């Protein structure tokens, strides 16, 4: 090819069926037809090659297809096609940033400007082979045509199968056997050419240009240029947006978690492969389910570190759905992921070994399923004067060692949960003795009171009086503790010990 410009068209035929079957590998070897429309006028809009060999044809009504033994029927899903189209575009964008969409009917197609990519991907045939393998790994069967002319590549990819390389200057002969339907003519000129006995682009290209323009108008010049493979084109590239999203609409509502995870595992595989192509990992995974009766359900996975471990992510999804099951049968499943980069932590030679993040995540997910969401995590003090007020946040492994010296003296306050009710004896408004259910304590020193109150305007208010107490048991043992009086009810309780 001597031309400076080079175009490659990627053509995915029967795209409604390809978009569905890429997430259903168990149906790849079976005859499958996709139906569209509303009952009772449902018709076949796409099929795989096994159904074609069974005699299924486009436009065939549902009742006619059901009479063919062994053919599996699926309902067309526009959302699944849209998600699959984005993935196909994403794969193509790995080989060229200049892409124009030429989808037509039930086919999804893109033309790539691959001018000057020889040093990156090798010869045009090697480039086409690498692209086709990438598409196959993502679950798509495509045909590819390469030509110096944009429209020649577009039409040849739609007509041929496999990889077609059109040498420069041979576009007319390469297109000669194509039907004139590839020109997408209006009904009137198409009928005129058919009456003249013109059925292929080669027959059209053989007609004299002046006479053809005289009879059919100036549009005939463009048709002749297309037939000769010389039609000029202004390339209008689109800007593909990278998003990690997979969608699958189920033929029948799914009630079993195993069936749901079977599809979810395949979707996670696809997300991981797409993220890995950009040296990324999955940092956050959101599963959105559309349920029967127009309900929705959502689960969010937040691994401690971004991961590409399929078994780990699938296990997290299983535990999350098990802990928060949907309240009805699942009609469709959508997985979206936020990309992140896997990080490694360099431990010190004498630093204690931390848990493996993936094992820790699974363990925490199991604990949350047993004891509840709000009882697993790291306690964080809230910005309030309320004593003992805290919230639970997701657990994270710290990477920075504490800067405090290990040998510095300190005092620990060990909370008693729940607080122990006590009876207090007072003298001059100060505690002098108290008793719990087992022991009596004599107060030797009392410091306080420290009064705190707040939220008096709501039912969640508090009004407390705190005392730091040094006391002795009957056996002579000394204890340091914190006593709290709820002033509104004049109730005393033992809150904590000082260690």
Question: HEC states along 275-295?
Answer: HHCCCCEEEEEEEEEEEHHHC
Q: Which of 167, 160, 117, 168 has its CA nearest to residue 142?
A: 160
Q: Are the C-beta atoms of residues 160 and 145 closer than 8 Å to each other?
A: yes
Sign of CA dihedral 69, 75, 80, 81: positive
Is residue 53 helix, strand or coil? helix
Residue 179: count of CB within 10 angstroms of its CB: 11
pLDDT of residue 130: 94
DSSP 73: E
If asked whether residues 169 and 256 sit together in one domain, one would say: no
CB within 8 A of 267, min separation 6: which ones? 23, 246, 248, 333, 335
Q: How far is CA 140 from CA 19, 66, 108, 255, 268, in A?
A: 8, 26, 11, 29, 17
Helices (H), 94-233: 118-121, 124-137, 150-159, 171-175, 187-195, 201-205, 209-216, 219-228
If asked whether residues 51 and 172 sit together in one domain, one would say: yes
pLDDT of residue 398: 54
Residue 75 lies in a domain: yes
Residue 364 lies in a domain: no
Distance CA 172, CA 315 (A): 56
Domain of 107 in residue numbering reads as: 7-228
Which of 321, 340, 359 is the last residue before a domain boundary? 340
Is residue 226 helix, strand or coil? helix
pLDDT of residue 101: 94
Cis peptide before 65 (omega within 30 of 0): no
Per the document, the length of the chain is: 499
pLDDT of residue 330: 93
What's the domain count of the chain?
A: 3
Distance CA 178, CA 184 (A): 12
If asked whether residues 205 and 269 sit together in one domain, one would say: no
Q: What is the CATH number of the domain that holds 311?
A: 3.30.1490.100
Diameter of the chain measured on Cα atoms: 122
If asked whether residues 198 and 58 sit together in one domain, one would say: yes
Is residue 27 helix, strand or coil? helix
DSSP 370: H
Helix (H) / strand (E) containing 428? none
Q: Are the C-beta atoms of residues 202 and 183 closer than 8 Å to each other?
A: no
Distance CA 480, CA 411 (A): 11
Which of 340, 360, 391 is the last residue before a domain boundary? 340
Residue 348 lies in a domain: no
Burial of 146 (0-12, 13-18, 19+ CB in 10 A): buried
Distance CA 198, CA 191 (A): 10
Which of 310, 325, 340 is the last residue before a domain boundary? 340
pLDDT of residue 401: 47
If asked whether residues 441 and 297 sit together in one domain, one would say: no
Q: What is the mean pLDDT of each run of 10 residues along the chain (499 residues)?
A: 78 94 87 91 93 93 92 92 92 91 93 92 93 92 95 94 93 94 91 93 93 91 93 87 87 88 90 87 92 91 85 89 89 91 62 65 78 78 77 65 56 86 92 91 92 77 88 88 90 91
């Amino acid at each position: 090819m001597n031309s400076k410009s080079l175009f490659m068209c990627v053509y995915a035929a029967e795209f409604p069926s390809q978009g569905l079957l890429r997430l259903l590998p168990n149906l790849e070897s079976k005859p499958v037809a996709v139906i569209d429309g509303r009952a009772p006028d449902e018709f076949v809009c796409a099929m795989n090659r096994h159904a074609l060999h069974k005699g299924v044809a486009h436009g065939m009504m549902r009742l006619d297809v059901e009479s063919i033994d062994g053919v599996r029927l699926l309902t067309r899903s526009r959302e699944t096609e849209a998600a699959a189209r984005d993935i196909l575009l994403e794969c193509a964008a790995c080989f060229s940033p200049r892409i124009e969409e030429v989808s037509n009917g039930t086919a999804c197609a893109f033309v790539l400007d691959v001018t000057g990519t020889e040093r990156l991907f090798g010869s045009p045939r090697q480039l086409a082979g690498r692209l086709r393998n990438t598409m196959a790994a993502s679950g798509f069967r495509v045909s590819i045509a390469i030509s110096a002319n944009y429209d020649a590549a577009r039409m040849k990819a739609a007509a041929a199968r496999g990889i077609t390389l059109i040498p420069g200057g041979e576009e007319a002969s390469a297109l000669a056997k194509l039907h004139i339907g590839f020109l997408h003519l209006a009904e009137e000129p198409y009928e005129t050419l058919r009456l003249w006995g013109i059925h292929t682009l080669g027959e059209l290209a053989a007609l004299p240009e002046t006479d053809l323009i005289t009879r059919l108008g100036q549009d005939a010049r463009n048709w002749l240029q297309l037939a000769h493979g010389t039609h000029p084109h202004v390339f209008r590239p689109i800007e593909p947006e990278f998003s990690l999203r997979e969608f699958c609409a189920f033929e029948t509502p799914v009630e079993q978690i195993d069936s749901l995870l079977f599809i979810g595992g395949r979707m996670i595989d696809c997300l991981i492969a797409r993220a890995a192509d950009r040296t990324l990992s999955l940092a956050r995974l959101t599963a959105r389910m559309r349920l029967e009766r127009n309900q929705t359900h959502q689960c969010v996975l937040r691994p401690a570190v971004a991961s590409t471990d399929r078994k780990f992510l699938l296990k997290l999804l299983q535990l999350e759905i098990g802990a928060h099951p949907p309240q009805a049968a699942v009609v469709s499943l959508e997985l979206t992921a936020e990309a992140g980069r896997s990080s490694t932590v360099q431990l010190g030679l004498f630093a204690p070994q931390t848990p493996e993040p993936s094992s820790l995540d699974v363990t925490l997910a199991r604990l949350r399923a047993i004891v509840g969401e709000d009882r697993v995590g790291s306690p964080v003090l809230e910005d309030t004067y309320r004593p003992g007020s805290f919230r639970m946040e997701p657990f994270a492994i710290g990477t920075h060692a504490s800067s405090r010296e290990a040998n510095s003296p300190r005092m620990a306050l060990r909370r008693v949960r729940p607080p122990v009710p006590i009876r207090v004896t007072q003298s001059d408004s100060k505690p002098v003795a108290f008793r719990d259910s087992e022991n009596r304590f004599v107060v030797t020193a009392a410091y306080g009171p420290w009064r705190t109150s707040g939220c008096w305007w709501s039912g969640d208010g508090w009004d407390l009086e705190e005392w730091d107490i040094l006391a002795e048991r009957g056996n002579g043992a000394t204890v340091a503790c914190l006593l709290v009086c709820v002033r509104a009810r004049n109730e005393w309780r033992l809150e904590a010990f000082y260690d």
